[in-house]
Amino acid sequence: MDKKSISNQSWAILIFLSIVWGCSFILIKKALIAFDPIQLACLRISISSLAFTPIMLWHRKDVDWSKWAKFLAVGLTGSGVPAFLFFMAQSQISSSVAGLLNSLTPIWTLLIGIFIFRLQFDRTKLIGVFIGFLGAASIILLGSDDLTGGNPWFGILVIIATICYGSSVNMVQAFFGTTKPIIISCVSFFLIGPPALIYLAFSDFSTTLMTNPQALQALGAVSVLSLAGTVLSTILFYTLVQRTSAVFGSTVTYLMPVIAIFWGFLDGETISMLHFGGMALILLGVYITKK
């Protein structure tokens, strides 16, 4: 396979992931109509883990189990912890705002790569970091309840989730450069799945499913989110990071906020100049840090 075809495939994966993950925020919103954030996070992790289990069993002999702690760290930072943070955040902020703040991921990817993984540092990139954080701060500090869909301070939970994403991406590049993406994905979820399944078993999930008339719709939303937005997309994303770099892979966030705002607008969310101004500053910051 020549270099050009690899490049074209990488861009195709990037665009696909941007669209799929851009739709994830509206799916989170639709799932919250029946279940609480903790149940939904555990449900997303459980569905993904169960889907990955047959694949993990098939590849079990190819797994380097001496790296189990690193697999666990990738699973927790890349999917486990962010799942809880996003569902909790979107119980108080709109899907549009969550999608915008998620665009900070490449900036955190760069900062963590520099200060923890000792990647090459260009001081001029600090300007981009500052501009990106300025955009996020404007949305949180200037956003009213009407503009953000609730309490704007819950946007900080999304920012913490982007720190987790930045950590996970760097760990994949540093620790699993030669490991098959399918193995990274299935083993990570196999390790974080059991606690989520146990929690669901002892919660009132089953009761809500049988009694709440909107439960099936919510279950459908989180199932699509899990299978398309997590299982399929995680494999593709780790493939993309291996083929290119952690920073290039994290640029899926360029198109994601546009998709998130589009779905938010269709769903009746308030879209203002603050949203577009914040998005412009964040994406400008991302562009400068990558340039």
Q: What is the pLDDT of residues 65-94, one digit of tens each?
A: 999 999 999 999 999 999 999 999 999 999
Tokens of 153: 């301070």
Closest of 255, 245, 212, 234 to residue 47, by C-alpha:
234
Q: How far apart are CA 243 and CA 11, in angstroms?
A: 11
**Whats the size of the chain, residue-wise?**
291
Structural domain harbouring 8: 3-290
pLDDT tens figures, 207-238: 999 999 999 999 999 999 999 999 999 899 88
Contacts for 124-130 with beta carbons within 8 Å, 24 or more apart?
Answer: 124/288, 125/288, 125/289, 127/288, 128/284, 128/285, 128/286, 128/287, 128/288, 128/289, 128/290, 128/291, 129/285, 129/289, 130/285
SS3 144: coil
Query: Band of the pLDDT at 5, cuts 50, 70, 90?
Result: very low
| pTM, full prediction | 0.90
Closest of 158, 162, 156, 199 to residue 36, by C-alpha:
199
User: Do 35 and 218 touch, CB atoms closer than 8 A?
Assistant: yes
Q: How far apart are CA 103 and CA 253, in angstroms?
A: 5
Q: For the chain, how many structural domains are there in total?
A: 1
pLDDT tens figures, 89-148: 999 999 999 999 998 998 898 889 888 887 776 777 788 889 999 999 988 888 767 767
pLDDT tens figures, 28-78: 999 999 999 999 999 999 999 999 999 999 999 999 999 999 999 999 999
